[in-house]
Structure 1
Amino acid sequence: MGFFRDISPIRAVGDLKTYWFDQQDHKWRFLLASLAATTTIFAAFFSESGFEVQWKRPEITWVTSFEPGRSDSEIAAENVANQERKEKLEAERLAREEERKAQYRRLAEQFGMDTE
């Protein structure tokens, strides 16, 4: 607890006053330059923040891609067509993937690597 006995706010203010008011004028210039730099940085952050003061309700644009008067049979036919298209695309993707794997296997064989 000897450390805290030696600390005094009054002595700290006196030390600060002695430090700043001695005969070195460059300290004031550096203080002003550092304050100007800090103020400039904070002003740039504040001006670039772009926050809006007042909240605005977002505009919603509803996009409808189906006719409202479709029958159940039309919906079912469209679902079947979409499912067929999805399965076709998935089969094409799997074929491309298998071809790529085959290419890598051929490349590995050319370099004498074990692929299993």
Structure 2
Amino acid sequence: MDEGEKRIKQEDCSEDNLGAGILTLTNKRLAFDKTSARIMDFSKNFGETIIEFSLDKVIKTWKEGLFIKKVCFTVKTDEGEKTFKFGVFNTKDWLKNIDKAISEFNNQF
């Protein structure tokens, strides 16, 4: 993490297209790291960082789903807009924390 960066929330989850990993929200960015697990010894290892976006790149946030709930966000990239949908435990809390972090990040500048 960068200097002055603080982890706000982190959770083991799954993204619709990327699969299993760990979603991390800090006061500066959103990141998703792939994980690999072994059932035999119950170990889980961090893999490569698949997505990493500064909070000022996030265009839209929302939650969706009735039974399988997801927190979703759209980000601005060099290739255009991309949408990610993560199956997390508490979508309402994730959405609140993401929106608050974006607001505080934008107010710094």
Q: TM-score, normalised by structure 1?
A: 0.21
More strand per residue: 1 or 2?
2
Higher relative contact order (CA 8 A, sep 6+): 2
